[in-house]
């Protein structure tokens, strides 16, 4: 999920009559949709394009997408990564075609129960009440799909659900440290359980051997003493042996069931440990990236404002270069312009279509030496068009992790040492850090 929503959230959730609503900005208006019946549910392709990423990522699993997406797109079911599968599914959902209808049908079949429950809502307030109830119960995915396609869901209702789903992703990230502690505890419990299972298996084998030896001894004694002992004593011994045998079998069955349960718990804990290790590796990778950004930003900020020559020397390769920055935030964009200007370069900013027209983006890119865009502040449509135009005009482009000044400074520092080598290489890979 994105670290920030690609559109400005509504200031208040006013779901009153049309004449009492606060005027919305142009960026918050829903995408144009064809006329539809008052009580018809919204189709997936009719939803605002900013919502498809969260719907596909939240409501459909990767295994389901691997079965469905290759039927409508030229993508390898086995070789494609999870990110490529997700990105292709989002693009298919935006287009009003067979693939979008198939995705809509799959979601309807999977969450039919939630759709029937939301049909009871007759106004936006009732839809929000059902959403809040499902969120409190942890039933997020079904309720999210039912809300997004409900006929009474307004843009304010959808924005409220989008924002709450966005914040849930932050809570999941904050739980990483507790998961690591739980991983260590699980590994210790796993070792103890393995040792206990081995001891139980050895004990069961010893008990089975003792039982067999006792039976053989008793049978031999009964055979030897049969002529001398009365028949009643032999029957009593046989009955006692049978009772002991049944008791041993019950104990054997009990220990066997306990061993199987312990093995099952061990398998589950090993799988949980594997998943936690993967999360830990991802956290370490993110830590390394953020550490590099901090070092680059610290180096840039350590220069005094009056040290123009030093700054120009540190970023000499930027001089006389024209860099196009697509997306981002107004506050950080102003700082980036000043940084590039101090190094003798030019930074042209395009917001990706929020206020600037998207048609100007294609006309801006051909004269650029370098194109940079933050993956957390640009929509799918602008990024796809940006890649196509850059590849057509042989312009290098680089995705940034965030729209922060630190990410931009780290990229400029990383590109500086091998500037001459990069000038003779083909354009950068079309891989996107967020969408593939």
State both tokens at 170: 């932050």
* Strand 397-400, strand 370-374: pairing: parallel
d(CA 15, CA 158): 12
State both tokens at 15: 């779901």
Q: Is 224 helix (H, G, I), strand (E, B) or coil?
A: helix
* Res 276: pLDDT: 92
What residues are paired with 370 via a beta bridge? 323
Number of helices and strands (H, E) in the chain? 16, 4
CA 91 to centroid of chain Cα atoms: 17
Non-local CB neighbours of 407 within 8 Å, separated by 6+ positions: 293, 374, 400, 401
Q: Where are the alpha helices (DSSP H) in 137-230?
A: 140-148, 155-174, 176-225
**Which residues of the chain fall short of a pLDDT of 70?**
1-39, 169-180, 225-231, 296, 299-314, 353-359, 417-436
* CB count in 10 Å sphere of residue 48: 20
Non-local CB neighbours of 363 within 8 Å, separated by 6+ positions: none
Non-local CB neighbours of 154 within 8 Å, separated by 6+ positions: 15, 124
pTM of the model: 0.37
* Res 249: pLDDT: 92
* Res 348: pLDDT: 87
**Residue 104's closest CA among 120, 118, 89, 119?**
89
* Res 124: pLDDT: 92
CA 32 to centroid of chain Cα atoms: 29
């Amino acid at each position: 999920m994105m670290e920030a929503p690609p559109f400005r959230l509504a200031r208040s959730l006013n779901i009153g009559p049309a004449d009492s609503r606060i005027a919305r900005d142009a960026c918050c208006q829903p995408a144009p949709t064809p006329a539809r019946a008052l009580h018809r549910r919204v189709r997936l392709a009719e939803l605002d394009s900013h919502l498809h990423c969260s719907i596909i990522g939240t409501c459909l699993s990767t295994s389901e997408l691997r079965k469905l997406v290759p039927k409508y797109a030229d993508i390898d079911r086995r070789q494609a990564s999870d990110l490529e599968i997700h990105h292709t599914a989002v693009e298919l959902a935006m287009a009003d075609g067979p693939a979008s209808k198939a995705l809509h049908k799959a979601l309807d079949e999977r969450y039919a129960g939630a759709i029937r429950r939301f049909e009871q809502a007759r106004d936006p307030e009732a839809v929000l009440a059902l959403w809040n109830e499902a969120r409190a119960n942890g039933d997020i995915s079904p309720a999210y799909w039912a809300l997004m396609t409900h006929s009474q869901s307004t843009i304010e209702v959808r924005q409220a659900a989008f924002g709450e789903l966005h914040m849930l992703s932050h809570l999941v990230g904050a739980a990483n440290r507790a998961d690591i502690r739980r991983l260590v505890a699980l590994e210790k419990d796993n070792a103890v359980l393995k040792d206990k299972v081995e001891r139980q298996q050895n004990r069961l084998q010893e008990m089975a051997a003792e039982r067999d030896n006792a039976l053989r001894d008793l049978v031999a004694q009964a055979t030897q003493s049969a002529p001398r002992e009365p028949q009643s004593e032999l029957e009593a011994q046989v009955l006692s042996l049978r009772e002991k045998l049944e008791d041993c079998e019950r104990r054997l069955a009990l220990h066997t069931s306990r061993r199987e349960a312990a093995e099952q718990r061990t398998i589950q804990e090993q799988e949980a440990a594997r998943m936690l290790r993967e999360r830990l590796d991802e956290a370490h990778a993110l830590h390394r990236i953020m550490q590099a950004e901090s070092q680059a930003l610290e180096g840039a900020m350590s220069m005094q404002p009056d040290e123009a020559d030093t700054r120009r020397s540190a970023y000499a390769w930027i001089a006389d270069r024209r860099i196009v920055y697509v997306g981002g935030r107004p506050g950080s964009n102003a700082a980036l312009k000043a940084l590039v200007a101090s190094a003798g370069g030019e930074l042209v900013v395009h917001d990706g279509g929020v206020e600037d027209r998207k048609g100007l983006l294609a006309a801006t890119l051909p004269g650029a030496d370098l194109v940079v865009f933050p993956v957390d502040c640009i929509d799918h449509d602008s990024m796809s068009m940006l890649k196509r135009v850059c590849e057509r005009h042989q312009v290098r482009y680089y995705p940034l992790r965030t729209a922060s000044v630190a990410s931009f400074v780290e990229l400029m520092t990383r590109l500086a040492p091998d500037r001459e080598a990069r000038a003779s290489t083909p354009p950068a890979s079309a891989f996107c850090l967020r969408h593939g």
